[in-house]
């Protein structure tokens, strides 16, 4: 729970970015002050087709969202590997938490070395984003 409150946590301890189904969970924060915190942007602005970026600071993994929906808390199959696919699955609560979980899934489009990644994307990972408006 501490990891989810401060950032995002992997669903399984042996996950590797860019491989299998890299499943992450984080909290959703209600209200205007939380719209850009943790995984709240997925709830408020998530859409099929948008980009999802992950980094291990050696590489940047670029995914394109292919699924976005509310699922039941018991729909755990979304976080398991899918044969032949390199995915990221992001899970957060729905506004009421009773209706379910918000799930966004992306398929890996490319992996780029950190030093070859555009500066605008590097900055999104390295800038102090605590005051995003």
Bridge partners of residue 10, in order along the sequence: 24
Mean pLDDT of the residues in the chain: 85
| Number of C-beta neighbours around residue 60 at 10 A | 23
Q: Domain range for residue 62?
A: 2-126
Q: Is residue 112 part of a domain?
A: yes
Local confidence band at 133 (pLDDT 50, 70, 90 cut-offs): very low
Exposed, middle or buried: residue 130 (CB in 10 Å: 0-12, 13-18, 19+)?
A: exposed
Active-site residue, 12 included: no
User: Percent of the chain, pLDDT > 70?
Assistant: 80
CB 25 within 8 A of CB 93: no
Residue of 17, 21, 25, 27 with catalytic role: 27
Active-site residue, 27 included: yes
pLDDT at 13 over 50: yes
Q: Is residue 6 part of a domain?
A: yes
Q: Is residue 34 part of a domain?
A: yes
Tokens of 39: 């995984």
Number of domains the chain is built from = 1
pLDDT at 6 over 70: no
Choice between 5 and 53, residue whose per-residue pLDDT is larger: 53
- Predicted pLDDT at 4: 62
Q: Is residue 79 part of a domain?
A: yes
- Note the pLDDT tens digit of each residue in 53-92: 999 999 999 999 999 999 998 899 999 999 999 999 999 8
Q: Is residue 93 part of a domain?
A: yes
Q: Is residue 40 part of a domain?
A: yes
Spacing of C-alpha 78 from chain mean position: 13
Q: Is residue 83 part of a domain?
A: yes
- Note the pLDDT tens digit of each residue in 115-125: 999 999 998 88
Q: Is residue 131 part of a domain?
A: no
Cα 104 to Cα 14, 31, 35, 101, distances in angstroms: 21, 20, 16, 10
Q: The domain spanning residue 79 has which CATH number?
A: 2.40.260.10
pLDDT at 1 over 90: no
H helix or E strand, kind and range, residue 55: strand 51-55
Local confidence band at 47 (pLDDT 50, 70, 90 cut-offs): very high
Residue of 23, 91, 93, 104 with catalytic role: 93
In angstroms, rounded to a whole number, what is the distance separating the alpha carbons of residues 72 and 74? 5
């Amino acid at each position: 729970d501490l990891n989810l409150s401060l950032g995002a946590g992997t669903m399984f301890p042996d996950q590797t970015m860019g491989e299998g189904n890299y499943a992450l969970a984080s909290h959703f924060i209600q209200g205007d002050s939380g719209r850009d915190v943790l995984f709240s942007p997925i709830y408020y602005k998530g859409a099929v087709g948008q980009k999802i970026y992950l980094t291990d600071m050696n590489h940047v993994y670029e995914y394109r969202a292919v699924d976005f929906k509310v699922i039941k808390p018991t729909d755990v199959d979304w976080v398991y590997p899918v044969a032949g696919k390199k995915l990221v699955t992001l899970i957060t609560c729905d506004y009421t938490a009773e209706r379910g979980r918000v799930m966004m899934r992306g398929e890996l489009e490319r992996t780029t070395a950190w030093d070859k990644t555009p500066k605008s994307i590097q900055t999104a990972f390295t800038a102090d984003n605590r005051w995003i408006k």
